[in-house]
Amino acid sequence: MVALVIAEHDNASLKGSTHHTVTAAAQCGGEVHVLVAGSNAGAAAEQAAQIAGVTKVLVADAPHFADGLAENVAEQVLAVAGNYSHILAPATAYGKNILPRVAAKLDVAQISEITKVDSPDTFERPIYAGNAIATVQSSDKIKVITVRTTGFDSAASTGGSAATETLTAVADSGKSAFVGRELAKSDRPELTAAKIIVSGGRGIGSADNFKILEPLADKLNAAMGASRAAVDAGFVPNDWQVGQTGKIVAPSLYIAVGISGAIQHLAGMKDSKTIVAINKDPEAPIFSVADYGIVGDLFEIVPQLVKELG
């Protein structure tokens, strides 16, 4: 058995999601290869070759791979798919855009957002907003899998010495074109990669009130997040949203302020190592998953926490 990981990257460097996906691939048994499809992506390929556990890096370099268009990358995956028992990608926007196309053309059932590998053909994935875990067994010759990265440790970025093979790039499909990208800029850590997250909910009350969380995030060098209720109310941008329909995170420390803990939010953060909840409602569902809970007025408690942190 040989597993192929579709690398997520920006041509210059790999995304952390790739390392978590390599860990999942290794647990499927057999060798792990990584496909880097990009344009002038030599630096990303070099990083992939150094990941512990990777035995080969396949490089497809062409201008039409520059922006990771799913139509083109999927065709490149299909060109080599017959050599593999498992094809995996992170369950990010990148992976979710590519692998369903691959699965459809291979006529196999995709297994989405796995959090555990029980055996080479059996996997676990959350359902019902994480309230239940489904065990899925596949008899398909090629298993096409997206990986929920919070369920797997990151493979070491050094220690590997994989061979590199250059592939003949498939032709541009011509089915799509890259128009533009608007990137949110922030001095804070990226939400899905942050070790500490300070997150606010509808209980904050307004966009202006969200500023009360900034000193706390600054003291902890934390990313800032929010519940869907806070996003829908217009308090903060969409890219702050944590939850089933937002970003799935698992930081070392998650501080939930004014968040009641709706099931959809819990699905996105309950794998955090330590959860601290601040809410005036002692019956709030967030306390059911919190390691530490403070019942009280967040507008009094948060400044006190900042003061104690010096």
Give backbone dihedrals phi and psi of 74, rounded to 5 degrees, phi first: -60, -40
Q: Is 125 marked within a binding site?
A: no
User: Closest by alpha carbon to 16, among 69, 116, 99, 90?
Assistant: 90
Place of tokens 């003949």: 168
Q: Is 76 marked within a binding site?
A: no
Q: Is 85 marked within a binding site?
A: no
Q: Is 293 marked within a binding site?
A: no
Q: Is 131 marked within a binding site?
A: no
Distances (CA, A) of 133 to 89, 199, 212, 245, 295: 20, 26, 37, 18, 31
Amino acid at residue number 265? H
Give backbone dihedrals phi and psi of 114, rounded to 5 degrees, phi first: -70, 150
- Mapped onto helix, strand or coil, the DSSP state of residue 230 is helix
Q: Is 27 marked within a binding site?
A: no
Q: Is 206 marked within a binding site?
A: no
Q: Is 40 marked within a binding site?
A: no
For the chain, the first-to-last Cα distance in angstroms comes to: 54
Sign (positive or negative) of CA dihedral 117, 120, 126, 132: negative
Q: Is 93 marked within a binding site?
A: no
Long-range contacts: 301-310, Cβ < 8 Å, 24+?
302/212, 302/213, 302/216, 302/257, 302/278, 303/212, 303/215, 305/216, 306/215, 306/216, 306/219, 309/216, 309/219, 309/220, 310/219
Place of tokens 């053909």: 121
User: Closest by alpha carbon to 250, among 272, 228, 233?
Assistant: 272
Q: Is 228 marked within a binding site?
A: yes
Q: Is 262 marked within a binding site?
A: yes
Q: Is 260 marked within a binding site?
A: yes
Q: How many CA atoms lie within 13 A of 62 on its CB side?
A: 16
User: Closest by alpha carbon to 277, among 165, 198, 188?
Assistant: 198
Q: Is 241 marked within a binding site?
A: yes
Q: Is 137 marked within a binding site?
A: no
User: Closest by alpha carbon to 86, among 50, 34, 46, 38?
Assistant: 34
Q: Is 258 marked within a binding site?
A: yes
Known binding residues are 202, 227-228, 241-245, 258-265, 279
Known binding residues for FAD are 202, 227-228, 241-245, 258-265, 279
